Amino acid sequence: MWTSWWLWPLVAICTADQFRDQAERIMQGTPVIDGHNDLPWQLLKMFNNQLRDERANLTTLASTHTNIPKLKAGFVGGQFWSAYVPCDTQNKDAVRRTLEQIDVIHRMCQMYPETFVCVTNSTGIRQAFQEGRVASLVGVEGGHSIDSSLAVLRALYHLGMRYLTLTHSCNTPWADNWLVDTGEDKAQSQGLSLFGQTVLKEMNRLGVMIDLAHVSVATMKAALELSKAPVIFSHSSAYSLCAHRRNVPDDVLQLVKQTGSLVMVNFYNDYVACQREANLSQVADHLDYIKNVAGAEAVGFGGDYDGVSRVPSGLEDVSKYPDLVAELLRRQWTEAEIRGALADNLLRVFEAVEEASDHMQTPEEEPIPLDKLEPSCRTKYGYSQAPSLHRQLGALLASLALLPLGLCLL
């Protein structure tokens, strides 16, 4: 009787240690690729992207969810760093601001080459794993960053962008965001406009992953139907567990399953528990749910660290991924399923996107109609006035032709 009283807590502790040890063993071979981290935004806000500021030292920086020691402790082997600029830059300086955020990601790799290596393809990720460095990729968070320009889209691709979130929390002139589903914004494109469809086709051609975090349900469905390659939700969770419109509903999860796409679960408390407080177990619930509905191949991690104000207890920073993996092992996830969620599912999607790309295909060229753009301070070069000029010239010539007749009548 007394033996059993003290034995069971000891067994529980030993079992917990066993799962944690197993998690670390798995992650040594398959480190986590996280879909979304906003450290570059914190570097802008705190240091105006001045990495040589001694306070910005990523080895000692303590006020963020992310630093180099935490990344190593969390077995992070791949990270999509978010090149995020807010919606209030739309129709203003969004492109410039986005370029600056991509630049700071590149400079992170330059300044800390022993830790980070900037890569642009799935092969680069695998090579970084072998080298024990963090494969660093650029995800541009918000379609407003391309300023409705296919040329800007292509330029960002050449600078390393490998996913584009179609919207942030605002409509673009060609895609609707999640606030449409709450009634806070009005639908402008009913999902995707004709130009929005062209953007997706060009992303497929280039090999840029389509990210549906932040978009409306109509946009999700339109993109999943149109894309020739699997898509991702870089940082979203399951709507059935937390009825927040940033999350993915069941009918869309079915489309995720049918298309071989991927939902990378967000850790933000408001999307995990629909309240200010959440815990690690509830994040595991979302991973379980998506696995059960869309399949084990459809789930990944998209922590949203350094982009949110509240994270679950037990997942306080990027060092805590092994604890989440240990919880999944406790829930009897297989090692193959764990490796899938950590990295293999994302690599599969990335490779499918690369395979579907075709740089020999003629690029899309049709620009967005001028009347779909807000005037603000933008110029109109390239939007030819020739048709109206020809009409004006024709009218002028007609007037001149009538002039002799008028003179004769005088």
Three-class SS string for the chain? CHHHHHHHHHHHHHHHHHHHHHHHHHHHHCCEEEEEECHHHHHHHHHCCCCCCHHHCCCCCCCCCCCHHHHHHCCEEEEEEEEECCHHHCCCCHHHHHHHHHHHHHHHHHHCCCCEEECCCHHHHHHHHHHCCEEEEEEEECHHHHCCCHHHHHHHHHCCEEEEECCECECECCECECHHHHCCCCCCCCCECHHHHHHHHHHHHHCCEEECCCECHHHHHHHHHHCCCCCEECCCCECCCCCCCCCECHHHHHHHHHHCCEEEECCCHHHHCCCCCCEHHHHHHHHHHHHHHHCHHHEEECCCECCCCCCCECCCCHHHHHHHHHHHHHCCCCHHHHHHHHHHHHHHHHHHHHHHCCCCCCCCCCCCCHHHCCCCCCCCCCCCCHHHHHHHHHHHHHHHHHHHHHHHHC
pLDDT tens profile 297-310? 999 999 999 999 99
Q: φ, ψ for residue 373 (rounded to 5)? A: -100, 145
Q: What is d(CA 355, CA 353) in angstroms, rounded to the nearest whole number? A: 5
Quick one: pLDDT at residue 5? 53
Asked if 136 and 117 touch (Cβ cutoff 8 Å), the reply is yes
Asked if 195 and 354 touch (Cβ cutoff 8 Å), the reply is no
Asked if 73 and 59 touch (Cβ cutoff 8 Å), the reply is no
Tell me how long the chain is: 410
Asked if 206 and 359 touch (Cβ cutoff 8 Å), the reply is yes
Query: Which residues are marked as active site?
Result: 36, 38, 141, 168, 214, 235, 304
Place of tokens 């963090």: 134
Q: Which percentage of the chain shows pLDDT scores above 70?
A: 90
Place of tokens 């991702």: 232
pLDDT tens profile 203-212? 999 999 999 9
Write down the pTM of the prediction.
0.91
- Please list, in sequence order, all residues whose beta carbon lies within 8 angstroms of the beta carbon of residue 19, skipping any fewer than 6 positions away: 326, 327, 329, 330
Residues (pLDDT < 50) of the chain are: 1-3, 7-8, 10, 386-410
Asked if 283 and 16 touch (Cβ cutoff 8 Å), the reply is no
**Crossing angle for the helix pair 321-330 and 2-29, nearest 10 degrees?**
120
Quick one: pLDDT at residue 383? 82
Quick one: pLDDT at residue 17? 86
Give the pair of three-digit tokens for residue 77: 């082997």
Quick one: pLDDT at residue 35? 98
Chain centroid to CA 133: how far? 21
